Amino acid sequence: MTTETEHASLSEELNAYLDGQLDAAARVSLERHVNGCGVCQEEVRSLRVAKNVLKIQPMLRAPRAFTLSLDSTAGAPLLVGTTAPPSRWQGWLIWGWRLGSLASAACLLMAALARGNGQASLWTNSRNVAPEAAFNQAPANKSAETNTATGAGQAAGAAGSGSAAGQGAPSGALASRAESRDQVAAPQVAAPAPQVAQARATQPAPPSGQPPVTQPAPTADVAAVSPRQQMPAEPPASPVPAGVPWAGAGVTLALGSAALFFLNRRVQGG
């Protein structure tokens, strides 16, 4: 016996049947059921009435002609509360603004990626150094970390260790870069010989009571950074990776541009 719930679930099929939307197999199956079911027969009759009373309603006559005048199609707003199509120069302005926003976002993203790649290459280079070079550079990093932990050391050494440890880069190459920054960041100090400066940057004075860390001999890598002393000082490194703010700004601008683009299209009835 068909339950009330089953009849309710048949309702969609009955309406589709009335609308001629069932395929032949479904129609035959439903007709077989309806022929033997008084409830469904009455349901079909009443639904058919609801369908037919709407169907027999005549089309309404438009109260006026909705034709467009040449003026109204030339871009001038005719209806209160409606959005007028943009004029030619407004259209160029809108598209220029859109393209400019997207180009700016793309530039920011590329800049962020470039900076990110630069760091990645430094990281990669440091990992690819020869074993003996890595061995020689390892104490420099260790001393930098030690300096940060103890809070002691001279200004140049503290700055060098802060940048290296702050960026979390355990690379000798990065430490070398930091040391070159230290050397040019304090021009007032009497410039020591390159080897001495190297020793100060990578080997800060140990706190009293601690044995001095063994200082490796300067390597070819160290000599190679000497010319960079003539370059302007770089700003102190942020603890946040350098590419992140740029990438954030780029993504924000790109998303904002996209949102404004779609909003503009919607306002224009797109």
Partner 1 sequence: MDDRPAVALAQSGDVAAFNRLVLRHQDAVYTLCYRLTGNSHDAADAAQEAFFSAFRHIADFRGGVFRAWLLRIASNACHDLHRTRKRRPADSLDVARDSEDDTPRQDVEDDDPGPEAEALRLELGGVIQRGLLTLAEDQRLALVLCDQHGYDYAAIAEITSVELGTVKSRINRARRRLRDFLLSDPEYRELLPERYRLSDSGHAL
Q: Does 57 bind partner 1 (CB under 8 A)?
A: yes
Residue 19 engages partner 1 in binding (rule: CB under 8 A): yes
**Residue placing its CB nearer to partner 1 in the complex, 55 or 88:** 55
What is the spatial distance between Cα 252 and Cα 258, in angstroms, rounded to a whole number?
Answer: 10
Give the footprint of partner 1 on residues 167-206 (CB under 8 A).
none
Listed ranges 58-66, 103-111, 118-126, 192-200: which one lies at the site for partner 1 (CB under 8 A): 58-66
User: Quick check: 130 binds partner 1 (CB under 8 A)?
Assistant: no
Report the C-alpha gap between 256 and 105 in whole angstroms: 10
In the list 26, 29, 36, 51, the residue contacting partner 1 (rule: CB under 8 A) is 51
Q: How far apart are the first and last CA of the chain?
A: 53
The yes or no reply on residue 267 touching partner 1 (CB under 8 A) is no
Residues in Cβ contact with 44 at an 8 Å cutoff, skipping those fewer than 6 apart? 14, 17, 18, 34
Least separation in angstroms between CB 32 and partner 1:
21
For position 16 contacting partner 1 by CB under 8 A, the verdict is yes
Task: Rank residues 85 and 241 by Cβ distance to partner 1 and give the closer one.
Answer: 85
Residue 76 found at the interface with partner 1 (CB under 8 A): no
| 268, HSE (Cβ side, Cα atoms, 13 Å) | 14
Regarding 59 and contact with partner 1 (CB under 8 A), the answer is: yes
Of the listed pieces 50-58, 130-138, 178-186, 204-212, which binds partner 1 according to CB under 8 A? 50-58
Q: CA–CA separation, 119 vs 152, rounded Å?
A: 28
Mapping DSSP onto H, E and C, the string for 238-265 reads CCCCCHHHHHHHHHHHHHHHHHHHHHHH
Shortest CA distance to 139 belongs to which of 225, 210, 215, 218? 215
Question: What is the CB neighbour count within 10 angstroms for residue 195?
Answer: 13
88 binds partner 1 (CB under 8 A): no
Considering only residues 53, 130, 190, 217, which one is a binding residue for partner 1 as defined by CB under 8 A?
53
Give the sign of the dihedral formed by CA 257, CA 258, CA 263, CA 265: positive
Can residue 85 be called a binding residue for partner 1 (CB under 8 A)? yes
**Closer residue to partner 1 in complex, CB, 77/236:** 77
- CB of 154 within 8 A of CB of 205? yes
Q: Which of 1, 56, 130, 190 binds partner 1 (CB under 8 A)?
A: 56
Which amino acid, residue 264? Answer: N
**Interface residues with partner 1 (CB under 8 A)?**
11-12, 15-16, 19-21, 42, 45-70, 72-73, 78-79, 81-82, 85, 268-270
